[in-house]
Amino acid sequence: MDNILRLVDLVKVFNNQKVIKNISLDIRKGEFLTILGPSGCGKTTILRMIAGLEKPTSGNILLNGRHIENKEPYELNINTVFQNYALFPHMNVYKNIAYGLKVKKVSKPEIRERVTKMLELVQLGGYEKRMPDQLSGGQKQRVAIARSLINNPKILLLDEPLSALDFKLRKKMQSELKSLQQRLGITFIYVTHDQEEALYISDRIVVMNAGSIEQLGDSRDIYERPRTKFVAAFIGESNLFDSTVDSIWEDKVTLKAGNLQIAADNRSLEVGDNVCVLVRPENVKYSLKAVEHFNIKAVTRENVYLGSSIKTIFMSEDGRKIISTNYNRSLKTPKINESVWIYWNPEDAVIINSEENNGYHCREKVMAS
Ligand SMILES: Nc1ncnc2c1ncn2[C@@H]1O[C@H](COP(=O)(O)OP(=O)(O)O)[C@@H](O)[C@H]1O
Ligand SMILES: [Mg+2]
């Protein structure tokens, strides 16, 4: 697939602090790529460098093979949608959307035609005369998106565009944005700290932590095969066990995590390897009897009713919190203080290589520029 944008060994230093640490990333033409990470990890800084609003300290940014790292924003056909909408408060919806074309001295009839098309695209037909303060948050965000898209950008950058909206509206706008991107085929680079939003909306996700890329993959990779403990813990809920390979029998392994004995599928492990085992709460099971290859004895602490699921929190004998989420509500929940044995299907245990925890920087994506 064609790459539209390439970040090569990108570094940004602010006040002697490296906030972007040698990031390399290829972005495909027409994809919906999300940069996901906690607040302060460098997401906005990356977008600002792509948009020409911030110069990299070192490294390169290539747009369709051409260096753009020293270009100014107006030289780039890249537009940004911000969280705070940044609409012109004294202009009505029509003028806000038309602004970019007016600056470019596009003819009045063409402006009218293109603004009308944009208003339809974002479902705001009839709102031309409204002023920004007469719009809801979702409508303002739609105007901001229309105002960016009217310039036919090669890439649209979106920096937490929905985070000011309430839950229901956010869900609705997520689905609108996703279908808009699919219809237009424009490359979207979307920033969020909301992992659920990222899983739902993206073709691919870049998970960032403290200025570095932890993992790049589609939603399923990121959730089901996290490469690092950080990704496992950041995306969804997780039970993580630092452990050591104790024994191997056929395609299964037994691992020791403190006093616990746990089982997993063998993925080319050797006795003595240090690994971390991830088991998602929906895969955690419990039994009133001991289970072969497991010795995780635990006490039931809490059953939390969540509507579509019930979450049960257990405390293991050695003081670990273990979460089990049950979507089958016809199953009986254990009683509080009841002792159970925790287990799972060995194929549901995801092995995270402890050695890889600090070393993954999307290396398979790095190519010489
Ligand atoms: N203009 C700036 N001057 C100094 N430090 C900055 C500047 N912009 C961002 N930073 C710092 O860089 C780090 C990354 O910030 P940012 O890219 O805004 O993170 P995010 O968008 O992921 O929350 C933060 O520690 C932030 O304080
Ligand atoms: Mg930010």
Whether 215 and 245 map to the same domain: the answer is no
Taking CA 228 as the corner, what is the angle to CA 226 and CA 233, rounded to the nearest 5 degrees? Answer: 75
Distance CA 28, CA 6 (A): 9
- Identify any residues that bridge with 276 across adjacent strands, giving them in sequence order: 242, 352
Residue 33's CB is within 10 A of a number of other CB atoms, namely: 21
Asked if the model's pLDDT at residue 338 lies above 90, the reply is yes
Q: How far is CA 57 from CA 71, 203, 209, 305, 322, in A?
A: 14, 29, 19, 50, 44
The token duo for 275 is 């690994």
Mean pLDDT for the chain? 91
Judged against a pLDDT cut of 80, whether residue 109 lies above it is answered with yes
Indicate the helix (H) or strand (E) that contains 112: helix 108-121
**pLDDT category of residue 364 using cuts at 50, 70 and 90:** very low
Indicate whether 161 and 260 sit together in one domain.
Answer: no
Q: What is the mean pLDDT of residues 297-309?
A: 94
Looking at the domain assignment, is residue 290 inside a domain? Answer: yes
- The answer on 75 and 215 residing in a single domain is yes
Q: Would 359 be classed as within a structural domain?
A: no
Ligand approaching nearest to the C-alpha of 82 = 2
Report yes or no on 21 lying in a domain. yes
Quote the domain boundaries for residue 280: 237-353
Q: Which of 168, 197, 230 is the last residue of a domain?
A: 230
In a domain, 363, yes or no: no
Q: How far apart are CA 67 and CA 78, in angstroms?
A: 14
pLDDT (tens digit per residue) in 219-245:
999 999 999 999 999 999 999 999 999
Work out whether strand 187-192 and strand 155-159 pair parallel, antiparallel, or are unpaired.
Answer: parallel
Check if 107 has its Cβ closer than 6 Å to any atom of ligand 1.
no
Asked whether residue 189 falls in the same domain as residue 273, the answer is no
**Separation between Cα atoms, residue 214 and residue 361, nearest integer Å:** 6
Per-residue model confidence (pLDDT) at position 31: 97
Residues with CB under 5 A from ligand 2 (ion): 44
Give the tens place of pLDDT for each residue, 258-292.
Answer: 888 888 887 788 899 999 999 999 999 999 999 98
**Pick from 230, 257, 280: which residue ends a domain?**
230
- Ligand 1 mean position to 4 CA, how many Å? 25
Q: Is 20 in the pocket of ligand 1 (CB under 6 A)?
A: no
Spell out the alpha helix ranges (H) of 150-190.
167-184
Ligand 1 contact via 45 beta carbon (within 6 Å): yes
Residue 283 three-state SS: helix
| Residue 368, in any domain of the structure | no
Kindly give the number of the ligand 1 atom that is closest to the alpha carbon of 41.
Answer: 22
**Domain co-membership, 277 together with 347:** yes
> Which of 85 and 90 is assigned the larger pLDDT?
90
Regarding whether 216 and 262 lie in a shared domain, the answer is no
For residues 162 and 261, membership in a common domain is answered with no
If asked whether residues 242 and 181 sit together in one domain, one would say no
Question: How far, in Å, from the CA of 50 to the mean position of ligand 1?
Answer: 15
Does position 369 have pLDDT exceeding 80, yes or no? no
Residue 82: which pLDDT band, with cuts at 50, 70 and 90?
confident
CATH number at residue 270: 2.40.50.140
Give 357's contacts (C-beta < 8 A, 6+ positions apart).
Answer: 228, 229, 230, 276
Report yes or no: 127 and 135 within 8 Å, Cβ to Cβ.
yes
In a domain, 364, yes or no: no
Which one of the ligands is nearest to 160 CA?
2
Q: What is the tens place of the pLDDT at every residue in 86-103? A: 899 999 999 999 999 999
Q: Which listed ligand is nearest to 159 at the C-alpha? A: 2
Ligand 1 pocket test, pick from 12, 14, 21, 48 with the greatest ligand atom count within 8 Å of Cβ, gives: 14
Region 44-53: mean pLDDT is 96
Instruction: Give yes or no: residues 23 and 134 share one domain.
Output: yes
The predicted structure's pLDDT at residue 355: 59
Which two three-digit tokens encode residue 134? 């007469």
Q: Which two tokens stand for residue 162?
A: 């929905």
| % of the chain residues with pLDDT over 70 | 96
Is 366 among the domain residues? no
| Predicted pLDDT of residue 1 | 62
Which protein residue's CA is at the shortest distance from atom 12 of ligand 1? 19
Domain boundary among 177, 210, 230: 230
Q: Given pLDDT bands bounded at 50, 70 and 90, which one contains residue 111?
A: very high
Closest CA to 190 of 43, 28, 58: 43
Work out the pLDDT band at 210, boundaries 50, 70, 90: very high
CATH of residue 26: 3.40.50.300
Q: Is the CB of 280 under 6 A from ligand 1?
A: no
Cβ neighbours, 10 Å, residue 354: 16
Tell me, yes or no, whether 31 and 161 share the same domain.
Answer: yes
For the Cβ of 212 lying below 6 angstroms from any atom of ligand 1, the answer is: no
Please say if the pLDDT value at position 368 is more than 60.
no
Q: Is 268 in the pocket of ligand 1 (CB under 6 A)?
A: no
Same domain assignment for residues 160 and 266: no
Q: Confidence class of residue 150 from pLDDT cuts 50, 70 and 90?
A: very high
| 367 falls within a domain | no
pLDDT band at 192 (very low <50, low <70, confident <90, very high): very high
Q: What is the pLDDT of residue 230?
A: 94
* Percent residues over pLDDT 90 in the chain: 76
**The pair of three-digit structure tokens given for residue 333, joined into one six-digit string:** 């929940």
pLDDT band at 159, cuts 50/70/90? very high
Q: Are 24 and 10 in contact (CB under 8 A)?
A: yes
Same domain, 196 and 122: yes
pLDDT at position 363 is 30
Domain count, the chain: 2
pLDDT given for residue 290 in this prediction: 93
